[in-house]
Each structure stands twice: as C-alpha cells, then as structure tokens.
Structure 1
Amino acid sequence: MQSNMHNIAILGAGRVGTALARRALSAGFEVRVATSRPAAENAVMLQIVAPGAIVASAEDAVAASDIIVLALPLSKYRNLKPELLQDKIVVDAMNYWAPTDGTLAEFEGATSSSEVVQRFLKGARLVRSFNHMGYHEIEDSARPDGHAERRAMAVAGDDAQANLIVAAFIDRLGFDPVISGGLASSRLFAGGTPIFGAAMTRIEIQQHLGPLSHNPA
C-alpha cells in the first residue's frame, strides 16, 4: 500500500501521542507535536521522549502536515479550533473514560464519541483509529507487511478517501488496516468491545467488525 503522505502532526504529548510520534519517526515520517502549552515549553520534554520530533504550535503543526492525530484527553476536545482543521484529514485516537474525564453527558448515549467530535469539528475529514491498542503496543507490536504476527488496526470514517490515506499511514507504521465502515461503525471497536485491547490479526478483527469490513490493500 503506497502513500504520498509524509508529514504528521500530533496534538497532544501524553503517552499515546509520544508513542505515535516515536513510531512515525521510525517509519520515516516528519513529525510535529503540539500541545496547549507554548511550543518552547515542550522542547526539552520532546527531546527526551520523542527525539527527532519537531516542536510546534498547533497552528504551525497543522499547516505543515498531511495527517493530524488527536491524542489529547477527550474531555479537552472543545479546546480545538474547528476552523484550523477545516478540510484536514484528522485521526481521532481519543477515548472516553468517565473515571478520569468525569461523566460527560454528550458521550453517554448510543452515538459514538467520534461522531460527537465530528459534529464539533465541522469540515474536518475525521477518521477514527489508534484507540483500541495500548500506547506501548504501538511501538512493540509493529511488524513488517506479511509477518504472521502482524496485528490489525481498525479504521472508521465517512470520507472514503481519508480512510484510505489513514489506512496507508497505518500500514507504513507496521499494522494491517481494516476499514469497518462509516464513523458510526467505530462503536464496534470502542471500549468494552471484544476488539478493544485485544491482539488480533486482520482476519480476526474482520470477523468481529462484520462482513462490510475490508482491508484496502
């Protein structure tokens, strides 16, 4: 699976964000990391936890990148600027954890958390992925294409082209992408589902996602 996308922005520098930064750097991507703090305040920390990543403001990181990954606490998503992410391919890697986020009524219904985020980020080409794998596994479980133990990563989104671009990114990181369908189908790999936290191959994850799921290769 080929991809012409080379520049990645990660908004958030917690465990998931920095693990993704390190993995993307290892895969040959140029990576920019931004948080809610001024870029200068992140410089020393990123030199230690993600050497090679470029420290940037959110505005500069988004402007220079092909794919933007949201790796901040879900409770902070309204701090994002919808106009900044207009027409951008945005990957939602956030999860709703009531014990840590507090009970948020908007995420307590049947609608997937990514659909809620999409309503706020109008105009963003939102794709759900990276949420069902532990941050340490993003680095430790990556395998080359064709490896017998290569794990699968679910992808969901309403923009078919964005899904394919994110799938190519995932493939290059070392995982088999499996597209489950539209954004609503991200409920199939949310917390509490058999997929969440499980080590599954492409065939195994497709069995749980259902007959409409597919590998875009």
Structure 2
Amino acid sequence: MKIGILGAGHIGKALARLLAEAGHEVGISNSRGPETLRDLAERLGHGVTAYSNEDAARFGDLVIETVPFGHYADLPSVQLKGKIVIDTANYYPERDGQIDLGGLSESAFLARHIPGARVVKAFNTIQAAHLESQGDTNKPLSQRRAIPMASDDAEAKAVVGQLIEEIGFAPVDNGDLEQSKSQQPGTPIYGREANPEEARQVLGGQS
C-alpha cells in the first residue's frame, strides 16, 4: 500500500519506519518542504521518500496526519478527499491555543474540516518510543499492546486495524469518532500499556 505521512515528528518518523519495514511504500512530509527531509528519508531507508504535504497526501492510498492539532486548517483537504486518513493528533490547549470544538471529539471536529476523508482515530494513546519498541509480530494478538481506533467508517477502520497488526500491535475497536473522546489525553486508556482485553475493559468503563 502507498502511505503518505503528514508530519515528521516522533510519531510520524516511527510510523514511517515501521510501515516501510512492513513492506509499504511510504512518503513523508513536513511544513518546511521535502528538501528538509531528504536526510531523514535516507536514514529511515526502505525507500521512504520525502514529499511536500500536498504531494504526500496525493501519493498515499492511505494518509497519516501527525501534525499538531492547532495546525488542522493547514491540512491539504482537497488531496485528502476520498482517502483513509489516520488522525494521530491530540488537542493540547496550552500548545494549540483555545479551539472551540463545539462539543465534538477532536477527530469528529477534524473530519468536518477535511470533508470526504475517511477519518480513523488511532496511534494517539501511545508514546513514540513505545511505538518503536513494543510492537511484536511474534506474539498472539491477545498478548500484544492494544491500539484503540475509532471511526464512522467500518471499512476504513478494518484497513487501519490490519496495519496495526502488521507492525506488531493489536487493534481494539473503540466505536465511532465521537467515542474517540474516551481515548483522548486525560482518559484512563491514554498512555496505558494494556492488552486488548484490558483495553476493552478500560474503554468500556468510560462509556
């Protein structure tokens, strides 16, 4: 699969390496342009390519957005239309400024600003260092660290779940985008190292 990654921070770099190692074609971008990422792409190896944000979004059959939430309006919404978009962002008011979400989850709010995109919330509850080190494809799913995911699109969620398995974690269905409120910062599952059964119990207790 061709995967575009918008954002070259810790999570973006970790996912680029893991997904490229799993055999996917990966393009990565940042707000400063591809020339600033060529050394990183070379270090990541496995054919990872540096792009502009627009070109990374255009390149990917699936796109992962890992930019700070406060920059949501800068996402290339035209190029994301019709694409599965994994939203890894978290809203931190002290960093992002005050944003009126209108009572929505962060991901539901984001989905309104990239109309036509098939948004899936995932990878927002795990530290980049743990993403790099805790995946293990040799373990059965029941013993792997859980990655909650939420979406209004069941088919998109299934595709993302497969990617989560390919890099050594276990997907846990957390309902629709509004339900993703239960995996945002400050919730019991956020940052928690849990297997799938434990994660379902924690998430269920938050409903």
How does the TM-score come out when normalised to structure 2?
0.92
Instruction: Note closer, same or farther for the CA distance 1:149–1:60 as it changes in structure 2 (3 Å cut).
Output: same
The residue matched to 2:100 in structure 1 has which SS?
helix
Query: Which residue in the other structure is 2:116 paired with?
Result: 123
* Superposition RMSD in Å: 1.8
5 Å-filtered alignment, 1:20-39, equals 20-39=15-34
Query: Following TM superposition, where does structure 1 have runs of at least 4 consecutive aligned residues deviating by more than 4 angstroms?
Result: none
> 3-state SS of the aligned residue for 2:31?
coil
Deviation at 1:98, TM superposition (A): 1.8
Cα deviation code 1:22-60 (max 9, x no counterpart) = 111222221100112221222123323x23311112233
Counterpart check, 1:142 vs 2:135? yes
TM-score relative to the length of structure 1: 0.88
**Structure 1 residue matching 2:135: 3-state secondary structure:** coil
Distance apart, 1:147 and its partner CA: 6.2
Q: What residue number does 2:76 align with?
A: 81
Contact 1:106 1:116 in 2 (8 A): no
Task: State, as a whole percentage, how many aligned pairs show the same letter.
Answer: 35
SS at match of 2:174: strand
**Contact 2:6/2:53 (8 A) holds in 1:** yes
Question: Which 5+ residue runs of structure 2 have no aligned equivalent?
Answer: none
Name structure 1 gaps, 5 residues minimum: 1-5
SS in structure 1 at match of 2:186: coil
Aligned partners of 1:156 and 1:183 also within 8 Å: yes
Secondary structure of the residue aligned to 2:86 is strand
Between Structure 1 and Structure 2, how many residues are aligned? 204
Are 1:134 and 1:197, in contact at CA under 8 Å, matched by a contact in 2? Answer: yes
1: distance between equivalents of 2:100 and 2:52? 29
Note the C-alpha offset of 1:210: 2.2
Paired amino acid for 2:174: S
Residue 83 of structure 1 aligns to a residue in which SS?
helix
Aligned 8 A contact 2:142 2:196 in 1? no
SS of the residue aligned with 1:132? coil
**Could you say which residue in structure 1 is the equivalent of 2:191?**
197
Query: Match of 1:99?
Result: 94
Equivalences for residues 10-25 of structure 1 within 5 A = 10-25=5-20
Match of 1:13, SS? coil
